[in-house]
């Protein structure tokens, strides 16, 4: 009986309340023996109630958009540092870890990047020198703040018949751009941890291709430290075995693992943009809440088991008040993928995750 008392007492003491006002601890404290825990943020979220929530709950942040090629380097000879500077200062002043996202990606690129003055495609030499210039400037600027960079984002194709995604990077430079991006980042900051970051990393076919690419970089002696598993998941999947297999295989490459963009959509996975149908439900029903709790519980059980290789877990956005999944891919549809509700309060799923952690121990 005595043991039962201690288990109950421990559980009650560790029960998170509705919000920071009730609980001196945040996610970062509950997970302190596991991994860093964080969120992606916009520059305006470094002040006000969202900033308070971030500081209470998280110990690592990522710039949601402010460090991407397009926003930070809109013209060939002009960098726009303000947004990223604000986020870097917020991290520095508050002792938060900062992940850099992202140096080489096919999306959110500026219009000048792939073309010359005549509007025609640049050649490989020019594109690689632009990439080097970009990486060197951005990595140097945040060298004292950013400890880990997503160097290349989403280079693997989702198409079963294709290995690498067909992008201007690939078409102009061939596969070599991957190795070059890592080399340039390493030269700019030899201390920074360098990651390859992607989504659907648990898909068996895509996983094989990601592993092939990483092994090829490793065989060439390219400095790559880790894999960023984005983790844009859904209440409908992936399941525990799929996650377990994927994480174990990436671990076997000897890489660090960061979960970089975690959220659990309350809709089935879909990627094509469309309008919401007139009678399409978008309420966060009791059934969906339950499924989301179960899915987050499964996810964190797997992540906790792999705490030795998983160094950091970052949510993509802070709360359901503002998430990139609102209106994406379905215009007019609200989503509820995070641990905090539209009023920034902890959702019941938060308590469920913490209770699961305590049981594990």
Nearest to ligand GLA of 204, 329 (CB atom): 329
**Minimum gap (Å) between residue 248 Cβ and ligand GLA:** 23
Nearest to ligand GLA of 195, 199 (CB atom): 199
**Minimum gap (Å) between residue 241 Cβ and ligand GLA:** 24
Distance CA(48)–CA(161), nearest Å, equals: 48
**Minimum gap (Å) between residue 18 Cβ and ligand GLA:** 28
Nearest to ligand GLA of 182, 199 (CB atom): 199
Binding residues (CB under 6 A) for ligand GLA: these are: 101, 153, 199, 230, 261, 324
One of 45, 64, 145, 154 is an active-site residue; which one? Answer: 154
294 catalytic residue (yes or no) = no
**Minimum gap (Å) between residue 161 Cβ and ligand GLA:** 23
261 catalytic residue (yes or no) = yes
Distance CA(305)–CA(310), nearest Å, equals: 9
Nearest to ligand GLA of 62, 293 (CB atom): 62
Phi-psi region of 30 (alpha: psi -120 to 50; beta: other; left: phi over 0): alpha
Distance CA(226)–CA(309), nearest Å, equals: 10
**Minimum gap (Å) between residue 324 Cβ and ligand GLA:** 4
Nearest to ligand GLA of 311, 317 (CB atom): 317
One of 261, 270, 280, 360 is an active-site residue; which one? Answer: 261
Catalytic positions, please? Answer: 154, 261
């Amino acid at each position: 009986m005595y043991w039962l008392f201690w288990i109950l007492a421990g559980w009650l003491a560790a029960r998170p309340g509705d919000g920071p006002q009730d609980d001196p601890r945040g996610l970062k404290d509950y997970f302190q023996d596991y991994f860093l825990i964080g969120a992606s943020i916009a520059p305006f979220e470094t002040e006000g109630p969202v900033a308070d929530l971030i500081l209470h709950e998280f110990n690592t942040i990522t710039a949601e958009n402010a460090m991407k090629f397009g926003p930070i380097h809109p013209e060939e000879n002009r960098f726009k540092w303000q947004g990223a500077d604000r986020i870097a200062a917020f991290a520095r002043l508050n002792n938060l870890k900062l992940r850099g996202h992202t140096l080489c990606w096919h999306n959110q690129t500026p219009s000048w990047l792939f073309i010359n003055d005549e509007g025609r495609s640049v050649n490989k030499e020019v594109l690689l020198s632009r990439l080097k210039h970009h990486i060197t400037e951005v990595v140097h600027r945040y060298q004292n703040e950013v400890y880990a960079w997503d160097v290349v984002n989403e280079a693997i194709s989702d198409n079963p018949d294709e290995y690498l995604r067909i992008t201007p990077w690939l078409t102009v430079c061939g596969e070599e751009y991957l190795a070059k991006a890592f080399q340039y980042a390493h030269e700019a900051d030899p201390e920074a941890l360098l990651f390859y970051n992607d989504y659907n990393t648990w898909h068996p076919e895509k996983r094989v291709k990601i592993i092939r690419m990483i092994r090829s970089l490793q065989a060439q002696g390219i400095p790559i430290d880790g894999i960023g598993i984005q983790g844009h998941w859904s209440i409908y999947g992936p399941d525990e075995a799929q996650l377990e297999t994927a994480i174990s295989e990436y671990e076997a490459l000897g890489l660090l693992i960061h979960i970089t963009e975690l959220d659990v959509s309350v809709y089935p996975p879909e990627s094509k943009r469309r309008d919401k149908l007139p009678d399409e439900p978008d309420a966060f029903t009791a059934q969906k809440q339950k499924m989301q709790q179960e899915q987050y519980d499964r996810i964190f059980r797997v992540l906790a088991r792999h705490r030795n290789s998983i160094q950091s877990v970052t949510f993509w956005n802070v709360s359901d008040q503002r998430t990139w999944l609102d209106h994406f891919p379905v215009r007019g549809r609200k989503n509820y993928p995070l641990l905090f509700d539209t009023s920034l309060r902890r959702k019941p799923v938060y308590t469920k995750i913490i209770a699961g952690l305590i049981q594990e121990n």
